[in-house]
Amino acid sequence: NFEKVWLGAALLLIVGFIATISYGTVGAGIAMVDDSGGQIDPQAVQSGETGTTFDDPGVVKQNDSHYVVYVVAQQFQFVPGSGDNPIQVPANTLVTFKVTSADVMHGFAITGTNINTMVIPGQVAEVTARFDETGTYGLVCHEYCGAGHHTMGGSVEVV
Ligand code: CUA
């Protein structure tokens, strides 16, 4: 009857709104920065004794549609990320980067995206993104962190 049709239309509209909001946050490349994250002791990060995944940082699969990448920033490299240890994540999947520092303040930016956060010792910076396109993206430290700052970078391989 007529009332049911009206109710159905209203529900469709609500679903439509939610879809629009979701698209706004994760579509078209990227999303959301939250660097208010958890507290962590930088010296424990340095010595690998945090009792967290930061002691053996890397990519952790949560499920088929969500990966978490734990990254330690330190003078003057990202682990993983720098040298012959690129970060590898799949395309079209939610990827949360959790980044902390083992020493001083660093930056964490991925070129060609709007992923860009400060990495403050004692805190865990968190950025969630979705890469729409495969390829190799540059990883850059954009906060001055000492004599080797300009050499601090790496890569993210989206496969
Ligand atoms: Cu690390 Cu600049």
Q: The domain spanning residue 153 has which CATH number?
A: 2.60.40.420
Pair (143, 95) in one structural domain: yes
- Verify whether ligand 1 is closer than 6 Å to residue 115 (CB atom): no
- Verify whether ligand 1 is closer than 6 Å to residue 99 (CB atom): no
Q: 123: which DSSP letter?
A: B
Pair (7, 54) in one structural domain: no
pLDDT (mean) for 95-110: 97
Which residue range is the domain that position 147 belongs to? 31-158
Tell me, what's the ipTM? 0.99
103 pLDDT above the threshold of 80:
yes
pLDDT at 18: 62
Position with higher pLDDT, 61 vs 28: 61
Pair (95, 148) in one structural domain: yes
Pair (51, 106) in one structural domain: yes
Pair (63, 123) in one structural domain: yes
Rounded Cα distance between 101 and 48, Å, is 12
Q: Answer for the pair 103, 42: CB distance below 8 angstroms, yes or no.
A: yes
Pair (118, 89) in one structural domain: yes
Interval between CA 118 and ligand 1 midpoint (Å)? 10
pLDDT at 34: 39
CB atoms within 10 A of CB 151: 11
Tokens read off for 33: 């920065």
Rounded Cα distance between 122 and 133, Å, is 33
Pair (90, 71) in one structural domain: yes
Q: Answer for the pair 89, 59: CB distance below 8 angstroms, yes or no.
A: yes
Cα 158 off chain centre by: 13
Residue type, 5: V
Pick the atom of ligand 1 nearest to 106's CA. 1
Pair (127, 70) in one structural domain: yes
Rounded Cα distance between 124 and 98, Å, is 6
Pair (145, 107) in one structural domain: yes
Ligand 1 atom 1 nearest Cα: 106
Pair (22, 45) in one structural domain: no
Position with higher pLDDT, 31 vs 113: 113
Q: Answer for the pair 81, 154: CB distance below 8 angstroms, yes or no.
A: yes
Pair (20, 80) in one structural domain: no
- Verify whether ligand 1 is closer than 6 Å to residue 126 (CB atom): no
Q: How many domains does the chain have?
A: 2
Q: 39: which DSSP letter?
A: B
